[in-house]
């Protein structure tokens, strides 16, 4: 089992569309920071790294029809994905390969949402863009052209480290044998929301940025997209494709210090770089160039430099930040800068750190201030650090000097040890199992505990509702355990704070804005705040892929636990709703009016369900004791599988567990009352498990992007308590006694699907 190699890549940024344009500008030492041309904002004076194409020009570049709607984020992603696919010859040499598409993103369709927000509220004119607001919708739109090639799709949203974490997940899925190849990276467009958010933090430089300079004054925002195609070396050989380079190592850690600032000693960056080196088998002295995160802000550059000095001592290798060329492309940065690092390896040069003049006093190095060539590069380290202290590092090496990557041994079982929830049922308990709270309204707030019992007043006032729920459920699920990983699924993140910042921005003409709302709007705020409360420096990741957001996080945790990377993980599903966003989603059929009783939902005779805000955290471990709820035998995520593929995967899961379909006591499904949604579940049941009783749960917890977490929870509690009460049975029947095996099936829009097998 050999190395993981990069066999294709695609990019678009302020430097232009494609690798050739990017290389030409890098070699010439030409920055692309300039005044705003396309973004609609009052802050036209702020320099940015804007992609030099309008939406119309981007459509023409890829032949996207004028009569179809799409976001700019997705257009940028499509440009980069097409180049990566073509570069790796995936369309003609990858038949039969299981390929994942993993994209990092934070703003989703925000640039359209901010433009049409008042239309969303007052009329029907642009309502089709409502469904394109979330990050997962953008990923779906990007993947659409090559949908038949992908077997798994998900979205990572960890702010500025999103694309780097997509690379890490893709490599882990390959090493664990779940996929053969992965297309990984990220995309982000400029939005007034983002621009104003960073402006409220007072970290935007009114001049072109100068990272690592003693007189730096902040960052310039940018936009772009970039993807890598990664696979095993054997796979590339089978396809007769020459590798561009090797992904030698990678690491992710949480700084657990502050939502927007790095710790003075750079603990998170230090841990991420150290992990990447340890995994690669390289020594610090083997690294020939560091493509630094290097934002140009006072805090980041000083602390990143200190972290590098902790790793490399007095011999820090040549360093430069290429954000001085492109601006900070936020969620796309890890992809953009990985492509730049690989171009540097291929063409043996080191890009300049443009604008540098004077070294930072606390640093023992000076960044490279002009293009160096030839450079003699064999191993390049690239850093990507995000809000909340989400820090990731990757190492790329020339193929000739790369050590083989050891495949993951499958060594550990996985158990659900404990669960805590706050939902529209009774909070922080399992009372719903015997005495569920009925609901009569389509819009429902969560049933919150008294937070005065959990937070000091100053802390409670500062935290948004969803953050308080997540922290409380995390602490209850963990008890005394400090998790080695914190992994969250959230389709919308802290939508209340997002909405507050957006409305304030629109109503106040982009002035007098509160930075707190912006800081708490990023999706990975939830995981980072939990890590901060626990002082947990372990692996930290957030998935924002619509109705399979929680399932994506579960897959990540299981992969790492089962293959010995970690011993335990806190995995959560977090979602909230606001009256305004509820109203908007209602315009596109998400909610139903009138009767929402169980009998009415069973009819599945119309569009829509009812909402439920929720926070659920569960502790997964590789050890069991007397309190363990159940075992997780296996879990798979699928993208538009055929019936044959689904049947084969289900049989594989049963075989691995040593059981047959007749041993499965129930199948948990997210039947919600929505006719299109429920038709998929009923079709699955009829085709693959027609004689197995159906357990449903959305009639208790409501619909949300992370409702599937409650499906897993319901199955685990049934196994632990040794019965399935009749109010959980979709077809009215007496309760089932002593269940031993439960299958959980989830889908979103009949595209993304997930299967999980639980055992007593």
Q: pLDDT grade, residue 403 (50/70/90)? A: low
d(CA 418, CA 403): 40
The burial of 491, by beta-carbon neighbours within 10 Å (0-12 exposed, 13-18 middle, 19 or more buried), is given as buried
Given this model, what pLDDT does residue 408 score?
67
**pTM (2 decimals)?**
0.97
d(CA 616, CA 596): 23
Given this model, what pLDDT does residue 401 score?
60
Mean pLDDT of the chain: 96
Q: Is the pLDDT of residue 280 over 50?
A: yes
Over residues 61-83, the pLDDT tens digits come to 999 999 999 999 999 999 999 99
Q: pLDDT grade, residue 189 (50/70/90)? A: very high
Q: pLDDT grade, residue 412 (50/70/90)? A: confident
Over residues 129-140, the pLDDT tens digits come to 999 999 999 999
Q: Is the pLDDT of residue 402 over 90?
A: no
DSSP 611: B
d(CA 421, CA 618): 9
Over residues 502-539, the pLDDT tens digits come to 999 999 999 999 999 999 999 999 999 999 999 999 99
Phi, then psi, of 429 in degrees rounded to 5: -160, 175
Tell me the average pLDDT across 620-630: 96
Annotate 242-281 with b (16+ C-beta within 10 A) or e (fewer): ebbbbbbbbbbbbbbbebbbbbeebbbbbbbbbbbbebbe
The burial of 302, by beta-carbon neighbours within 10 Å (0-12 exposed, 13-18 middle, 19 or more buried), is given as buried
Q: Which of 318-327, 398-407, 467-476, 542-551 has the lowest mean pLDDT?
A: 398-407
Q: Provide the 10 A C-beta neighbour count for residue 624.
A: 15
The burial of 432, by beta-carbon neighbours within 10 Å (0-12 exposed, 13-18 middle, 19 or more buried), is given as buried
Domains annotated on the chain, with CATH: 4-401 (3.40.47.10), 415-759 (3.40.47.10)
Nearest alpha carbon to residue 692 among 755, 727, 739, 754: 739
Tell me the average pLDDT across 408-432: 92
Beta strands (DSSP E) in 359-460 are 379-386, 390-397, 415-422
Cis status of the peptide bond prior to 204, with omega within 30 of 0: no
Q: Are strands 485-489 and 568-575 parallel, antiparallel or unpaired?
A: parallel
Over residues 147-172, the pLDDT tens digits come to 899 999 999 999 999 999 999 999 99
Please give the positions annotated as active site: 160, 293, 328
Q: pLDDT grade, residue 1 (50/70/90)? A: very low
Strand partners, 617: 420, 572
Q: pLDDT grade, residue 387 (50/70/90)? A: confident
Given this model, what pLDDT does residue 405 score?
56
Q: Provide the 10 A C-beta neighbour count for residue 732.
A: 10
Question: Contact at 8 Å (CB) between 698 and 670?
Answer: yes
Q: Is the pLDDT of residue 727 over 80?
A: yes
Three-state SS for 576-588 is: CCCHHHHHHHHHC
d(CA 467, CA 44): 34
Nearest alpha carbon to residue 705 among 667, 677, 741: 677
Q: pLDDT grade, residue 259 (50/70/90)? A: confident
Q: Where are the alpha helices (DSSP H) in 69-211?
A: 72-87, 90-93, 110-122, 135-143, 162-175, 192-200
**CA torsion angle 421 437 683 151 (round to 10):** -20
Q: pLDDT grade, residue 406 (50/70/90)? A: low
DSSP 192-210: HHHHHHHHHTT-B-SS---
């Amino acid at each position: 089992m050999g190395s993981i190699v990069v066999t294709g890549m695609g990019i678009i940024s302020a430097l232009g569309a494609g690798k050739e344009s990017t290389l030409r500008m890098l070699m010439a030492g030409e920055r692309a920071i300039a005044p705003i041309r396309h973004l609609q904002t009052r802050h036209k004076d702020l320099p940015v790294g804007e992609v030099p194409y309008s939406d119309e020009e981007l459509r023409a570049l890829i032949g996207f029809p004028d009569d179809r709607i799409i976001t700019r984020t997705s257009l940028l992603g499509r440009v980069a994905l097409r180049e990566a696919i073509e570069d790796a010859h995936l369309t003609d040499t990858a038949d039969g390969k299981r390929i994942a598409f993993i994209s990092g993103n934070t703003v989703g369709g925000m640039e359209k949402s901010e433009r049409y927000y008042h239309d969303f509220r007052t009329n029907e004119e642009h309502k089709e863009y409502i469904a394109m607001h979330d990050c997962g919708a953008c990923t779906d739109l990007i993947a659409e052209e090559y949908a038949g090639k992908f077997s798994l799709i998900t979205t990572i949203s960890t702010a500025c480290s999103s694309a780097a974490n997509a690379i890490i997940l893709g490599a882990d899925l390959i090493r664990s044998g779940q996929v053969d190849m992965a297309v990984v990276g990220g995309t982000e467009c400029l939005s007034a929301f983002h621009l104003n958010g960073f402006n409220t933090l007072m970290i935007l430089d009114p001049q072109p940025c100068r990272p690592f300079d003693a007189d730096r004054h902040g960052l310039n925002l940018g936009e772009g997209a970039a993807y890598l195609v990664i696979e095993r070396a054997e796979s590339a050989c089978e396809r007769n494709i020459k590798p561009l380079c090797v992904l030698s190592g990678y690491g992710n850690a949480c700084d657990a210090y502050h939502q927007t600032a790095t710790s003075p000693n750079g603990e998170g960056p230090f841990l991420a770089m150290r992990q990447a080196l340890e995994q690669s088998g390289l020594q610090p002295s083997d690294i020939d160039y560091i493509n630094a995160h290097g934002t140009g802000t006072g805090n980041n550059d000083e602390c990143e430099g200190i972290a590098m000095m902790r790793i490399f001592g007095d011999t820090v290798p040549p360093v430069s930040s290429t954000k001085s060329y492109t601006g900070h492309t936020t969620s796309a940065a890890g992809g953009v800068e990985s492509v730049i690092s690989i171009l540097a390896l291929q063409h043996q040069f080191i890009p300049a750190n443009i604008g540098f003049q004077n070294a930072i006093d606390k640093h023992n190095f000076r960044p490279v201030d002009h293009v160096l060539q030839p450079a003699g590069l064999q191993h390049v380290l690239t850093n990507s650090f995000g809000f909340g202290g989400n820090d990731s590092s990757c190492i790329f090496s020339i193929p000739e000097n790369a050590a083989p990557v050891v495949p993951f041994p499958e060594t550990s079982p996985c158990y659900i040890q404990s669960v805590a929830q706050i939902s529209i049922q009774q909070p922080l308990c399992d009372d719903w199992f015997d005495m569920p709270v009925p609901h009569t309204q389509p819009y429902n707030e969560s049933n919150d505990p008294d937070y005065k019992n959990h937070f000091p007043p100053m802390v409670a006032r500062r935290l948004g509702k969803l953050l308080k729920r997540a922290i409380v459920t995390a602490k209850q699920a963990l008890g005394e355990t400090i998790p080695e990983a914190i992994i969250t699924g959230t389709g919308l993140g802290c939508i209340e704070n997002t909405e507050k910042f957006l409305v304030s921005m629109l109503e106040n003409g982009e002035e007098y804005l509160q930075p707190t709302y912006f800081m708490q709007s990023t999706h990975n705020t939830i995981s980072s705040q939990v890590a901060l409360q626990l002082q947990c420096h372990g692996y930290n990741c957030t998935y924002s892929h619509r109705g399979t957001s929680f399932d994506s996080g579960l897959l990540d945790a299981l992969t790492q636990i089962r293959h010995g990377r970690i011993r335990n993980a806190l995995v959560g599903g977090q979602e909230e709703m606001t009256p305004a966003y509820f109203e908007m989603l209602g315009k596109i059929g998400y909610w139903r009016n009138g009767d929402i009783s169980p009998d009415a939902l069973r009819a599945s005779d119309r569009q829509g369900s009812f909402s439920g805000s929720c926070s659920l955290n569960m502790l997964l471990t590789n050890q069991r004791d007397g309190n363990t709820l159940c075992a997780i035998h296996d879990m798979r995520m699928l993208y538009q599988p055929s019936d044959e593929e689904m049947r084969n995967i289900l049989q594989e899961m049963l075989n691995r567990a040593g059981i047959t379909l007749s041993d499965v006591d129930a199948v948990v499904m997210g039947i919600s009352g929505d006719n299109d949604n429920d038709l998929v579940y009923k079709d699955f049941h009829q085709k693959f498990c027609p004689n197995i009783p159906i357990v449903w749960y959305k009639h208790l917890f409501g619909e949300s992007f992370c409702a599937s977490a409650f499906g897993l929870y319901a199955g685990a509690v049934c196994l632990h308590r040794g019965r399935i009460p009749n109010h959980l049975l979709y077809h009215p029947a007496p309760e089932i006694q002593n269940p031993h095996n439960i299958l959980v099936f989830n889908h979103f829009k009949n595209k993304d699907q997930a299967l999980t097998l639980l055992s007593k």
